[in-house]
């Protein structure tokens, strides 16, 4: 809902500028044109945001999203371009404000130009949006701005999330069904990651890696809250998984933080990658969840960088040897969010 309201408001602001420009150029009523444009802009942005945010995540919407890229793009472009054209030509803002006498119809040439502009704007915005869905919105933004054109040292959190049991499941239902199974879990994780300002770094088999900069992740212990939100989303879909696959996903995770080298690599395919011992340690921590029989392990290095841990249960496990590392790592097990309770990082509390 926050995103829906934000996009509607942004559409209204763009509409103010566009309406004021059209009004000043062709109607000599820039102020009235701005008022009309605000309503028209919200009328354009609201339904489009509603489709993206509320319809596409549904069963029918997933069928559209899972179609080939050109099909998905073409269908959405046709729908959005047509809708923008209808709003531009019919102008609900004029009707809502009762300004029929002041807002004279646009010349035919301008009206046709407006339709062309509508489809061009829909094409440009939709293309950027669809590409961002492929490479990641923040990745695309960073590449366009050249933020990581030169390697840089950053403090980051890395959350490794593993879906248990996918290998034996493949023997039962086959690799194609397992692919759908994993895709469904990763799709459910998308909204919680976005809500907690996380950034999907990569998918590796039945694992996903999510990252935050120190500034983005430390508030309200976002990486930890993010994982338990994903767990809750999967639990809400348990009946659907049981019906379709005969099994409900079980998740394990590990969180570590520290300095990494971030940089852009590649020519024909560009990507932003992270190098450093933090990545290796986080992966080893995730493997240790099996050895220690815990769902979620967090290193002390990550824990000390987080704020808002009073909402979570923490079980100190002390120094633990990790495979492939000579030095042990100070580790804690984290339990799910405890509503209405207070605690400390040194206390263990079942929820």
Q: Is residue 347 part of a domain?
A: no
CA pair distance 287, 95, nearest whole angstrom: 62
Q: What is the pLDDT of residue 346?
A: 35
Tokens 């029929």 sit on residue: 100
Q: What angle do CA 261, 266, 272 make, to 5 degrees?
A: 40
For the chain, give the number of residues: 351
Same domain, 130 and 156: no
Ramachandran category for residue 258: left, alpha or beta (phi over 0 → left; psi -120 to 50 → alpha): left
Residue 349, domain member (yes or no): no
Whether the pLDDT of residue 300 is over 50: the answer is yes
Q: pLDDT band at 239, cuts 50/70/90?
A: very high
* Residue 6, pLDDT score: 86
Name the nearest CA neighbour of 81 among 39, 118, 126, 28: 118
pLDDT score at 3: 79
Q: Are residues 128 and 159 in the same domain?
A: no
pLDDT of residue 342: 34
- Residues 54 and 78 both lie in one domain: yes
Mean pLDDT of 206-235: 93
Asked whether the predicted pLDDT for residue 212 surpasses 90, the reply is yes
Domain boundary, last residue among 114, 135, 156: 135
Mean pLDDT across 58-70: 78
Residue 295: which pLDDT band, with cuts at 50, 70 and 90?
A: very high
Question: pLDDT class for 233, splitting at 50, 70, 90?
Answer: very high
Q: What per-residue confidence (pLDDT) applies to 29? A: 67
Question: 94 with 197, same domain?
Answer: no
What is the 3 state secondary structure string of the chain?
A: CHHHHHHHHHHHHHHHHHHHHHHHHHHCCHHHHHHHHHHHHHHHHHHHHHHHHHHCCCHHHHHHHCCCHHHHHHHHHHHHHHHHHHHHHHCHHHHHHCCCCCCCCCCHHHHHHHHHHHHHHHHHHHHHHHHHHHHCHHHHHHHHHCCCCCCEEEEEEEEEEEECCHHHHHHHHCHHHHHHHHHHHHHHHHHHHHHCCCEEEEEECCEEEEEEEHHHHCHHHHHHHHHHHHHHHHHHCHHHHHHHHCCCCCEEEEEEEEEEEEEEECCCCCEEEEECHHHHHHHHHHHHHHHCCCCEEEEHHHHCCCCCHHHEEEEEEEEECCCCCCCCEEEEEEEEECCCCCCCCCCCCCC
Segment 150-158 mean pLDDT: 91
Region 263-289 average pLDDT: 86
Residues 130 and 210 in one domain: no
pLDDT of residue 99: 66
Res 238: pLDDT: 92
- Give the pLDDT of residue 103: 55
Is the same domain home to 302 and 159? Answer: yes
On the question of pLDDT at 297 being above 80, the answer is: yes
**Domain span at residue 119?**
2-135
Model confidence band, residue 37 (pLDDT cutoffs 50, 70, 90): confident
Assess if residue 140 is contained within a domain. no
CATH number at residue 200: 3.30.70.1230
- Does the structure show a pLDDT above 60 at 338? no
Stronger pLDDT, 6 or 170, i.e. the higher one: 6
Rounded Cα gap, residues 146 and 294, in angstroms = 40
- The pLDDT value given to residue 104: 56
Nearest one of 81, 84, 52 to 65, comparing CA atoms: 52
pLDDT tens across 68-101, in order?
Answer: 888 888 888 898 888 888 887 777 877 887 765 5
User: In this structure, are 112 and 156 located in the same domain?
Assistant: no
What is the percentage of the chain residues whose pLDDT exceeds 90?
25
Token digits of residue 175 = 């690799």
pLDDT of residue 162: 93
Mean pLDDT of 278-299: 91
User: Are both 172 and 122 inside the same structural domain?
Assistant: no
Give the pLDDT of residue 350.
32
Contacts of 198 (CB under 8 A, 6+ apart): 159, 210, 211, 212, 216, 217, 222, 223, 226
Q: What is the number of domains present in the chain? A: 2
What is the separation, in whole angstroms, between the first and last Cα of the chain?
A: 29
Which position has the token pair 């004029």? 94
20 plus 151 within the same structural domain: no
Closest CA to 301 of 254, 268, 336: 254
Q: Is 349's pLDDT higher than 50?
A: no
Residue 9 tokens read as 């408001």
Distance CA 309, CA 217 (A): 12
Predicted pLDDT of residue 341: 36
Check pLDDT > 60 for residue 175. yes
Which of the listed residues 112, 135, 158 is the one where a domain comes to its end?
135
């Amino acid at each position: 809902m926050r995103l829906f309201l934000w996009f509607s408001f942004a559409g209204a602001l763009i509409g103010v500028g566009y309406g004021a420009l059209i009004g000043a150029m062709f109607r000599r009523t820039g102020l009235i044109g701005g008022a009309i444009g605000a309503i028209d802009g919200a009328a354009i942005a609201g339904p489009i945001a509603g489709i993206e945010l509320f319809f596409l995540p549904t069963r029918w919407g997933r069928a559209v999203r899972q179609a080939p890229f050109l099909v998905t793009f073409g269908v959405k472009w046709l729908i959005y371009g047509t809708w923008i054209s209808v709003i531009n030509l019919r102008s609900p803002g004029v009707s809502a404000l009762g300004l029929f006498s002041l807002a004279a119809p646009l010349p035919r040439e301008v009206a046709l130009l407006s339709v062309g502009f509508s489809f061009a704007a829909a094409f440009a915005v939709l293309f950027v949006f669809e590409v961002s869905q492929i490479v990641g919105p923040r990745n695309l933004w960073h590449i366009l701005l050249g933020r990581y054109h030169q390697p840089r040292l950053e403090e980051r959190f890395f959350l490794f999330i593993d879906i248990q049991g996918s290998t034996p499941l493949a023997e039962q239902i086959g690799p194609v069904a397992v692919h759908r199974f994993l895709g469904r879990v990763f799709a459910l994780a998308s909204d919680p990651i976005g809500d907690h300002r996380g950034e999907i770094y990569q998918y590796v088999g039945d694992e996903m890696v999510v990252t935050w900069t120190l500034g983005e992740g430390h508030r309200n212990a976002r990486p930890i809250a993010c994982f338990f939100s994903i767990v809750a989303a999967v639990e809400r879909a348990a009946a659907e998984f049981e019906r379709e696959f005969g099994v409900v996903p079980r998740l394990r995770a590990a969180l570590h933080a520290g300095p990494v080298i971030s940089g852009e690599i590649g020519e024909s395919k560009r990507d932003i990658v992270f190098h450093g011992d933090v990545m290796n340690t986080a992966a080893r921590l995730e493997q240790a969840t099996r050895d220690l029989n815990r769902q979620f392990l967090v290193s002390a290095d990550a824990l000390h960088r987080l704020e808002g841990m009073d909402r979570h249960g923490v079980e100190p496990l002390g120094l633990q040897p990790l495979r492939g590392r000579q030095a042990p790592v100070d580790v804690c097990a984290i339990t799910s969010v405890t509503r209405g309770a207070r605690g400390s990082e040194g206390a263990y509390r079942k929820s």
